[in-house]
Structure 1
Amino acid sequence: MSTFFQYVVEGLTIGSFYALVALGYTMVYGIIRLINFAHGDLFMVGAFIGWTALSALAASNMPWLLALGLALLAAMLATGVLGLAIERLAYQPLLRAPRLSILITALGVSLALENGVLLMFGPGFKTYPHLLTQTGFYLDGVQITYAQIGIVACSFALMLALYFFVHHTFIGTAMRALAIDQDAARLMGIDVERMIQLTFFLGSMLAAVAGVMEGLYYTQINFFMGFVLGLRAFTAAVLGGIGNIPGAMAGGILIGLLEAFGAGYVSSQWTDVFVFGVLIAVLVVKPTGLFGERVVERM
């Protein structure tokens, strides 16, 4: 049983990264019905911005906790601004265009971000400063590190803060109204364009947090890391019910657990088979995902 619970700990840690990125997918889809395939690459950009800032601050002999906080803040703000710029320049002019046009644009933005980072930083791996140690404790034979506790706690805190913001604030109410009917929201005086921009900004910030935490946890990043994680995070959003914030959280954790169990009990080469197999099985039984609700499409 200790092996089983060890995989649970690993799955919760990995799932925290997926859940944070899945929240960006589900928020954007909930507002404008767009699958933002560039969102996984924003996760990658956030990891590189955090690495750049943290490497510079660590060289100045600044206390590591302060350096980490400043690097994380820099990554969140810079990635949030980048996500906002992408929405303004690439997506906003196409909001009234056919969905296929904006979907192709999202794929183009994804490739542009990947190749931009490739040109700036090169194809090799970059190594984060080793700030997170393997110190922790054993609980009935299960090793739990303080880094894992911090990552899971930080992820859940951000998820709960986002849920509270969307469901218990005036701006969150406006965002939910916009998700139901944009035209009616505009007639009620809601600034639709600004709400969409805020959605992209918040989703990009969460992706940056996940990127920095993954860089700290695994210590190595590269320009292609956003593709695979973005694909699995999108799978998590669909599995939980895309457009549903608690569903994105649950989907991310479930994908992380499936990955940990699949790699531990069978082989890491079969991880995607288990993940997408479960996704297909769930969608066959419940096409809207675990927590999704059927939405009537308005013409």
Structure 2
Amino acid sequence: MTHLCVEQYACLAANISFNLDGLRNGFWQLTIDGLSWGAIYALVAVGYTLVYGVLKLINFAHSEVFMFGMFGAYFCLDMILGFTPSGNTYNKGIVLTVLYLGIAMLFAMAVSGATAVGLEAVAYRPLRRRNADRLSFLITAIGMSFVLQEFVHFILPKIIHGYGGSNAQQPIRLVAPETQFTVSGAAVSNITLIIVGAALVLALMTDLAINRTKFGRGIRAVAQDPDTATLMGVSRERVIMLTFLIGGLLAGAAALLYTLKVPQGIIYSGGFLLGIKAFAAAVLGGIGNLRGALLGGLLLGI
């Protein structure tokens, strides 16, 4: 009887140990996956928080700025690397892979940056010149979000006609060459390392630019007191344009990382869904606070 009890306790202890190991491995796996998603949310959230800090405007069309970057990243990667919608991969080595991904990121940043600056010039600047109220800005932001979505919905079938489809609802797939290794029982892929590493570098560069440079001080001055900043010689229009540009550039970088993260494909409405999460991250970190937006993105991802 005693021998049987000892065996039962031993089996129970082994099961508890196994379950604890499984919980620990699951925790680390969720944390690693959450960090990669949080890094993407954080980069997009910066655009929301910077624009709100300067204009006190919730730029709901920022999600479509991100969406333009997604398709810009895809087409650049397709032309340079030879990816196809069917998901065929290639093998050109680590150095060329990183180089081409860097080129694609710059292209996506240029597309999103140009979209953001154009959005500000076409939609928001005329409202400022007429001294429109905040409700007008909000309605315009929501309207431009739908306009940009429907523009891509209309034009995308014509663009992808030679890419294996004619329906804008059909996802465009990008399958990146991926390898995995194990850390503390959790699977870590090279794609995850690229996403987290690139986001960390961009976040540090943005923080330094906003807090240590002349134009960064101008952005903070306009955010704190636009009238006094103008009297001190700061060009408010230039600051606003730079704010949209920075937010657009980061959204473009996040778009490239997103295309690598999501194997099931990208569609024209994908930016809206991620934009909602990024906006929640900005609010979580205290909208208008740069570092808070970055932290909020990471927390939301985890």
Sort the TM-score into its range (normalised by shorter chain): 0.7 to 0.9
Q: Does 1:179 align with 2:223?
A: yes
Deviation at 1:123, TM superposition (A): 2.0
Alignment of 1:220-239 (within 5 A): 220-239=265-284
- C-alpha distance in structure 1 between counterparts of 2:199 and 2:70, whole Å: 16
Q: Does 1:127 align with 2:156?
A: no
Question: How does the TM-score come out when normalised to structure 1?
Answer: 0.82
Alignment of 1:67-106 (within 5 A): 67-95=100-128, 96-106=131-141
Does structure 1 retain, via aligned residues, the 8 Å contact 2:68–2:111?
Answer: no
Does structure 2 retain, via aligned residues, the 8 Å contact 1:18–1:232?
Answer: yes
Alignment of 1:200-211 (within 5 A): 200-211=244-255
Does structure 2 retain, via aligned residues, the 8 Å contact 1:64–1:131?
Answer: no
* Structure 1 outlier segments of 4+, above 4 Å: 60-63
Q: Counterpart of 2:185?
A: 141
- C-alpha distance in structure 1 between counterparts of 2:275 and 2:169, whole Å: 19
Deviation at 1:69, TM superposition (A): 2.2
Q: Does 1:255 align with 2:290?
A: no
Instruction: Please state whether the residue corresponding to 2:268 is helix, strand or coil.
Output: coil
| Alignment length (residue pairs) | 255
Instruction: Please state whether the residue corresponding to 1:127 is helix, strand or coil.
Output: coil
Deviation at 1:136, TM superposition (A): 2.9
Letter in 1 for 2:267: N
- C-alpha distance in structure 1 between counterparts of 2:190 and 2:99, whole Å: 18
Q: Does 1:25 align with 2:48?
A: yes
For residues 186-217 of structure 1, the C-alpha deviation after alignment (integer angstroms, 9 at most, x for no partner) is 11111110110000011011111111111112
Instruction: Please state whether the residue corresponding to 2:287 is helix, strand or coil.
Output: coil
> Which structure is larger by alpha-carbon Rg, 1 or 2?
2
**Which of 143, 150, 153 is the equivalent residue of 1:118?**
153
Deviation at 1:65, TM superposition (A): 3.5
Q: Does 1:66 align with 2:99?
A: yes
Deviation at 1:144, TM superposition (A): 1.2
**Which of 197, 200, 225 is the equivalent residue of 1:156?**
200
Task: Could you tell me which runs of 5 or more consecutive residues in structure 2 were left unpaired when the two chains were aligned.
Answer: 1-23, 84-89, 157-167
For residues 142-197 of structure 1, the C-alpha deviation after alignment (integer angstroms, 9 at most, x for no partner) is 11112211211111111111111111111111110000111111111111101100
Instruction: Please state whether the residue corresponding to 1:143 is helix, strand or coil.
Output: strand
- C-alpha distance in structure 2 between counterparts of 1:142 and 1:256, whole Å: 17
- C-alpha distance in structure 2 between counterparts of 1:131 and 1:107, whole Å: 34
**Which of 218, 225, 240 is the equivalent residue of 2:262?**
218
Q: Counterpart of 1:260?
A: none
Letter in 2 for 1:91: Y
Does structure 2 retain, via aligned residues, the 8 Å contact 1:30–1:243?
Answer: yes
Deviation at 1:138, TM superposition (A): 1.2
Instruction: Please state whether the residue corresponding to 1:123 is helix, strand or coil.
Output: coil
Letter in 2 for 1:125: P
Does structure 2 retain, via aligned residues, the 8 Å contact 1:132–1:216?
Answer: no
Letter in 2 for 1:97: A
Does structure 2 retain, via aligned residues, the 8 Å contact 1:132–1:217?
Answer: no
Does structure 2 retain, via aligned residues, the 8 Å contact 1:43–1:210?
Answer: yes
For residues 96-150 of structure 1, the C-alpha deviation after alignment (integer angstroms, 9 at most, x for no partner) is 210000100001110011111111222210012x2240x2321221111122112
Task: Could you tell me which runs of 5 or more consecutive residues in structure 1 were left unpaired when the two chains were aligned.
Answer: 258-299
- C-alpha distance in structure 1 between counterparts of 2:253 and 2:50, whole Å: 16
Instruction: Please state whether the residue corresponding to 1:82 is helix, strand or coil.
Output: helix
- C-alpha distance in structure 1 between counterparts of 2:34 and 2:279, whole Å: 17
Deviation at 1:66, TM superposition (A): 3.3
